Structure 1
């Protein structure tokens, strides 16, 4: 029988009676169960029958619906690979209707619906299927569940299950599977306010305890895969917090089984998430106070009379250890709320955290992890509770721990947690968090706290040989630091800077050891800056230590100069540490020896093309406008809006934030004349630097005028004349400076042109000499190839000889003729019977055995030895003359 005929029978208004349907439907369901209802194409008909039965409302239809829902638990069979795509919309609508069937007021039907949903995420049974059919993929059902919005419908149906505990547990099991399988389902649950509904119903009566367990599991899945902000917002309701409080306290005081302890820790994690929401009423509900009470147990001796602690027992198992760590994390989160800080102060949390580093109730690995987490929590909480920190003698305890970190007895760090990473076999992790806590406390600039540290010898302890030796032992093989070691060094320098700043006596305590450390760090290789280990922060903290711990004390300044510290600072000018470095340089230039060191460094660096003065000048930007010589773009933008009277203007703030004022201060110390290594462009910029103060004064007055215009205030006539005079004076200074710059540039242009003309003269002279050499060579070649030119050269030589002779002749002098008959050669100086003639190269003549009548031969175009040519009648006479003997 086809499903279509069944639907027609159920929808037929002229059915004989309902009694026939009651008899017929069980038979129909058995037939469908054994034959056709497993196929994917029949799924729409099945849910059509389910909806019709749900509308009938007769109790006897319940069994029919249960049988049909039992069939839905079977695998969906497909005939083609494209069936999943073709029937996707139908399956999505059927799954959506499955959730709406929860409206049927039948426990059996609701349980079957939940079982069907649970079966969607179960592996298919190993059964045989009809030929040509195979089950759909497991992912197909999960995707259809996500698209159908089934999770949201199930959450909304929880309001119908007030008195049906069994159905509620089965529904929570289905929600647990849905939330653990997909982020989409988690978002749908949160969309239906599922977190609030689950939290407010988790404490309903349940002898089995599964209601609380299932609800917390769903909340945990929402925390992992859902939106944490939305979850925190829903759970921040007062009713939810009260339910969580009651559930947590019940498990904390009466739970002893392992799954109960794990469930307790899960609830504590959820409470930590709620604590991140500043609007959560943790204080109003009393939960925060009770949580801190249990955190300080059993270390606290002041809360033993509290009745809640009478039944509270803390064992040393892993679950209680995890709870302790979660308590620390919760305190860290709660410290962001100012109202929660009052509760933390009342419960003397700081006292117990400092005692935590002394107790040894746990194993060595657990104790180490708790110590590190206590120190990390203190680094965040203690700066907010300075009075409580001082009351419990936090500085003393911290320095004792620092001394313990520098001891050399056998101690092997376990490195079991993320905070202990890098500290295996040593106390390096403890030293790291101890120094970090010291840095956090000293950065508060609390004079009472810093004075207490100095009175207890914190400066000497930080600079002592123990820490230096310990830091050397922490370094890796090859002398390189790891990230943790660099961080410890950086924090030590920052702590010392905070302690020694603005106190001459503490700078003296910094002394030779501190100067040695600073100079050693300034010698770091530039290649380490980009290693990613934090060396850039280390060098920045080192420059800050120079400014805070050395500058201002003549003893440390002299030691710093002896160690060539100024040279090291100047060598760092190419790095991006300019503001700190320039501030330190200004402080060093207060000392005459520092000025001399800068000048000496400039002369030494001149051999290396690393001049200090061009570097200073290069940092000072040029100026494009005479009326606004040093006005930057950010100042011009900031000046568009009026500022309140108690807020400094952009021009004033520019003095502190810009490098120009620092460069001007340095040149005021070094001078503006006789500076080595400056080019004309540098002198052009130096002219601006020299007038920087005049420009800044004019800029401030111009800003005052502009502010008055923006506020609609018109000054009185004398004030207006004064403002106009100041503006004109500033503009005149800018024009004078511009004319000086123009003169410098014109002088440099003329100098460049003269040098260029001189260069071109040398080039012309070189080319003229080359031309003379070329003409001489061409004339020499022409003489050897043309007899007429040879005669002309000989005649010219004779004339030169005649012209060089003395005109007056002495009596009895003998005159020798320069012409020798039968000689047909031209020589350089004189003619004689014995001459030296450079022969033609052998590869042109053909060798010693070649034909000797060269006058009758020509060099062939192809190259090689000369070839004999026929003797012309004109050439025979020349040949006859050349063969005459030389007399």
Structure 2
């Protein structure tokens, strides 16, 4: 028949296959419903063999994976098998086989199936996590294995019958939405007695947390960090438990909330567990990965110690860690380090750096400082900082680090010393750390900084290793001298620190080609050190002496344009001025040398070219130098750009300061408010705030913070009467400066009256009259100053008018002379070109000569040019 005949051509083959596929799918759907009906029928409970047989057929038929539209029925079957596992162990194998297939990508028939069945997929993956309640190890291991396979990024090929696996990113998204990672964390408590299952579960969590922030957040919500850390040091001969637990914690730190992780780990049990694991790996771990894991745990502990309130003392962590902090610099009979040996390889080097870093973190705890004192941590740091040649001669211990490692450890030890030394000054002095740092400073100067290269993070600051050492050495000295500890400063001066610091500055001045941000930082710190050491001590200022003044002169010769370069010249300039103030001012010999070397001229040049924020220290330094008569003489003789004198420069700064601070003035600079002649806008704001907070008087505070007060004091040194070469505008400003102190007294009295009124205090009649009298005198002074200013401006206008009239007369005279010359020339031209005019001119000339024979002729023409006379 035609219906049974083979097809004549291949074009009708696909419809036949499609029809068969549809029939197969219909049979499959019918089979799943029949399987469910068979499993749910209470009358078929005795037919266990038949149920297992049918389930095996389902497993065999779905070896390629489950269709998305069949997932609901499949997981109903899975749950039914899970319910019967406890009574009928035969179902365990079927359940494991079904779960194994669940690890394969689910199959979709259409592209829209992924979105259509998303809720079903999420629910099914979530149910896989809930199956961890089944106590059978093989089932739990299969769940973990299936979840790992399901989450993997492996690519699966499309099948020939039209179905294809779901995308990897889709599977990962569904797994995140299911919350199965949180369920697995909560299942850790069920695997206490099943080490193999726990390892599989940890492996699953490790993979799920490797790149997913959502999974890490869900795991942290289930207290994953605390639960995993608490059991990570339990016995496991393979070491896999510790390794996977550490990896999970690091994944949570990288992809989750670092604050939440450290918060969960900041308890006694977790810190004790980490401590035990670290000690075990330190003393018994000799393989490469064990050393790396040891360093990871130490870094994790250092992150926990950064959190305030971590129970470091209660857990015993700090007490057990202290002997390792000083190893191998100090010999110890502590049983923890008696048999400890380092291989001095890269892992041991990283551990030593982590130990130095954890010292800085732990130094915030006062109890930790006491343990550091007992463990002689400061002595270990000093031995590590000591120059290599000195350490070899001391013979305390044998250095086995490589030169690059030793240099980087030395740099980090200097950085650690900068943090610890101010907190442990007694131990610092006992260990003679000042001597060690000065020796290191001397060694750095004896070697060219470009001879080596910096190593590691700390060595990256300088072009070479020596410059980096110099940088951190000076920084350590700065940290200890910043503390008010006179014996320490005296010890530095006794050992020649002032001369060495000046040597460092001269060394950099001789190498301008090496100037960079690091070099400027070192020079700034050296100037700060000199300022701290010499401040208030005349003998130390004498030690600073001529050599120090020569160095300061070179720094004050700095081009003011470099202040805006961004490298740090602004800090260097401010440090130079501060060093001038602390090391020169107050010592007559140093002041004379400074003035002799034209230092006052350099300060005035900087004052003329520097930005506003740098004016205050420069003017303050000038004021202090004005105590020296020679400085006053140089200041009066100075002439800057555009022939500006020092008084003119100071008056210009005063006007610019008033303009910036919002002092009320008219366009000509006259006083507009006689009651508040020098009050600025900022002073009004601070006055209103201080009146409510009972702070220091705004008028008094303005004197200490305002640039104008220093300018007034300088003019008091210069004298208001002997100033010459000032313009009218300068005289107007000078009249205000002359009465600055009277105005300031009026401000204070006005504030006193205002405060008494606000507080409701009734003053005595005589006191009230005195206050009123002072205010009236102040207003009268302001009125007289304003009248003086007006008279100055009036005189200026008169002088300008007289100058204008004189100039006008000169212009008229010049114009008249030009007209006379032009008329004489026209007459001459007429005589030479017209004979009748010449005869008439001759006749008039003869008549005048007969009438006035002895009188000179006023009408005699000028001598003609040679060319015309020749003609």
Q: Which TM-score applies when normalising by structure 2?
A: 0.81
Q: Please name the residue that 2:32 is paired with.
A: 6
Q: Please name the residue that 2:442 is paired with.
A: 403
Q: Flag the structure with higher helix content.
A: 2
Q: Please name the residue that 2:620 is paired with.
A: 583
Q: Please name the residue that 1:562 is paired with.
A: 596
Shift of residue 454, structure 1, vs aligned partner? 0.8
Q: Please name the residue that 1:552 is paired with.
A: 586
Shift of residue 257, structure 1, vs aligned partner? 2.1
Describe the shift of the 1:274–1:627 C-alpha distance in structure 2 as closer, same or farther (beyond 3 A).
farther
Given that 1:383 and 1:444 are in contact with CA atoms closer than 8 Å, whether structure 2 keeps it comes out as yes
Q: Is 1:441 the counterpart of 2:480 in the alignment? A: yes
Q: Please name the residue that 1:841 is paired with.
A: none
Q: Please name the residue that 1:612 is paired with.
A: 649
Shift of residue 770, structure 1, vs aligned partner? 14
Shift of residue 385, structure 1, vs aligned partner? 0.9
Shift of residue 640, structure 1, vs aligned partner? 3.9
Q: Please name the residue that 1:386 is paired with.
A: 425
Pairing of 1:411-810 with structure 2 (within 5 A) = 413-421=452-460, 427-464=466-503, 467=504, 470-471=507-508, 475=511, 479-573=513-607, 574-575=609-610, 576-601=613-638, 603-607=639-643, 612-622=649-659, 623-624=663-664, 625-640=673-688, 648-673=696-721, 675=723, 679-745=727-793
Given that 1:413 and 1:423 are in contact with CA atoms closer than 8 Å, whether structure 2 keeps it comes out as no
* Matches of 1:15 and 1:747, distance apart in 2: 123
Structure 1 SS opposite 2:658: coil
Describe the shift of the 1:45–1:414 C-alpha distance in structure 2 as closer, same or farther (beyond 3 A).
farther
Q: Is 1:23 the counterpart of 2:57 in the alignment? A: no
* Matches of 1:720 and 1:90, distance apart in 2: 90
Q: Is 1:296 the counterpart of 2:326 in the alignment? A: yes
Describe the shift of the 1:71–1:721 C-alpha distance in structure 2 as closer, same or farther (beyond 3 A).
farther
Q: Is 1:160 the counterpart of 2:208 in the alignment? A: no
- Bigger shift: residues 369-378 or 118-127: 118-127
Given that 1:25 and 1:64 are in contact with CA atoms closer than 8 Å, whether structure 2 keeps it comes out as no
Q: Alignment partner for residue 404 of structure 2, among 365, 370, 389?
A: 365
Shift of residue 449, structure 1, vs aligned partner? 0.8
- Bigger shift: residues 635-644 or 539-548: 635-644
Q: Is 1:352 the counterpart of 2:358 in the alignment? A: no
Shift of residue 120, structure 1, vs aligned partner? 4.0
- Bigger shift: residues 631-640 or 540-549: 631-640
Shift of residue 264, structure 1, vs aligned partner? 1.4
Given that 1:687 and 1:737 are in contact with CA atoms closer than 8 Å, whether structure 2 keeps it comes out as yes
**Structure 1 residues 57-109: Cα deviation after superposition (integer angstroms, max 9, x where no partner):** 75555444423321222234455555555555554444444433433444333
Q: Alignment partner for residue 176 of structure 1, among 177, 185, 206?
A: 206
Given that 2:65 and 2:107 are in contact with CA atoms closer than 8 Å, whether structure 1 keeps it comes out as no
* Matches of 2:226 and 2:436, distance apart in 1: 45
* Matches of 1:766 and 1:33, distance apart in 2: 121
Shift of residue 280, structure 1, vs aligned partner? 0.8
Given that 2:459 and 2:465 are in contact with CA atoms closer than 8 Å, whether structure 1 keeps it comes out as no
Q: Please name the residue that 2:103 is paired with.
A: 73
Describe the shift of the 1:589–1:36 C-alpha distance in structure 2 as closer, same or farther (beyond 3 A).
same
Shift of residue 43, structure 1, vs aligned partner? 4.5
Structure 2: any 5+ residue segments left out of the alignment?
1-26, 392-398, 665-672, 821-835, 851-860, 863-867
* Matches of 1:431 and 1:665, distance apart in 2: 41
Describe the shift of the 1:764–1:398 C-alpha distance in structure 2 as closer, same or farther (beyond 3 A).
same
Describe the shift of the 1:227–1:703 C-alpha distance in structure 2 as closer, same or farther (beyond 3 A).
farther
Q: Is 1:238 the counterpart of 2:285 in the alignment? A: no
Shift of residue 418, structure 1, vs aligned partner? 1.8
- Bigger shift: residues 758-767 or 507-516: 758-767
**Structure 1 residues 561-619: Cα deviation after superposition (integer angstroms, max 9, x where no partner):** 22222222222223232222122111111111111222222x34443799523443234
Structure 1: any 5+ residue segments left out of the alignment?
773-796, 812-827, 830-834, 836-887
Pairing of 1:40-79 with structure 2 (within 5 A) = 40=68, 42-43=70-71, 45-47=73-75, 49-51=77-79, 53-54=81-82, 59=88, 61-78=91-108
**Structure 1 residues 286-311: Cα deviation after superposition (integer angstroms, max 9, x where no partner):** 2212212211123224x42x222233
Given that 1:29 and 1:64 are in contact with CA atoms closer than 8 Å, whether structure 2 keeps it comes out as no
Shift of residue 510, structure 1, vs aligned partner? 0.9
Shift of residue 450, structure 1, vs aligned partner? 0.8
The two structures, once aligned, show a CA RMSD in angstroms of: 4.2
Higher Rg of the two aligned structures: 1
**Structure 1 residues 460-514: Cα deviation after superposition (integer angstroms, max 9, x where no partner):** 22223xx4675367x47xx251222222211111111111111111111112221
Q: Please name the residue that 2:335 is paired with.
A: 307
Given that 1:7 and 1:49 are in contact with CA atoms closer than 8 Å, whether structure 2 keeps it comes out as no
Q: Please name the residue that 1:109 is paired with.
A: 139
Given that 2:182 and 2:221 are in contact with CA atoms closer than 8 Å, whether structure 1 keeps it comes out as yes
Shift of residue 715, structure 1, vs aligned partner? 3.3
Describe the shift of the 1:568–1:388 C-alpha distance in structure 2 as closer, same or farther (beyond 3 A).
same
* Matches of 2:198 and 2:93, distance apart in 1: 21
Given that 1:508 and 1:553 are in contact with CA atoms closer than 8 Å, whether structure 2 keeps it comes out as yes
* Matches of 2:849 and 2:586, distance apart in 1: 97
Q: Is 1:195 the counterpart of 2:231 in the alignment? A: no
Shift of residue 203, structure 1, vs aligned partner? 2.2
Describe the shift of the 1:676–1:2 C-alpha distance in structure 2 as closer, same or farther (beyond 3 A).
farther
Q: Please name the residue that 2:356 is paired with.
A: 328
Describe the shift of the 1:653–1:15 C-alpha distance in structure 2 as closer, same or farther (beyond 3 A).
same
Q: Please name the residue that 1:274 is paired with.
A: 304
* Matches of 1:386 and 1:647, distance apart in 2: 36
Q: Is 1:185 the counterpart of 2:215 in the alignment? A: yes
Given that 1:606 and 1:677 are in contact with CA atoms closer than 8 Å, whether structure 2 keeps it comes out as no
Q: Please name the residue that 1:824 is paired with.
A: none
Given that 1:561 and 1:594 are in contact with CA atoms closer than 8 Å, whether structure 2 keeps it comes out as yes
Q: Which TM-score applies when normalising by structure 1?
A: 0.79
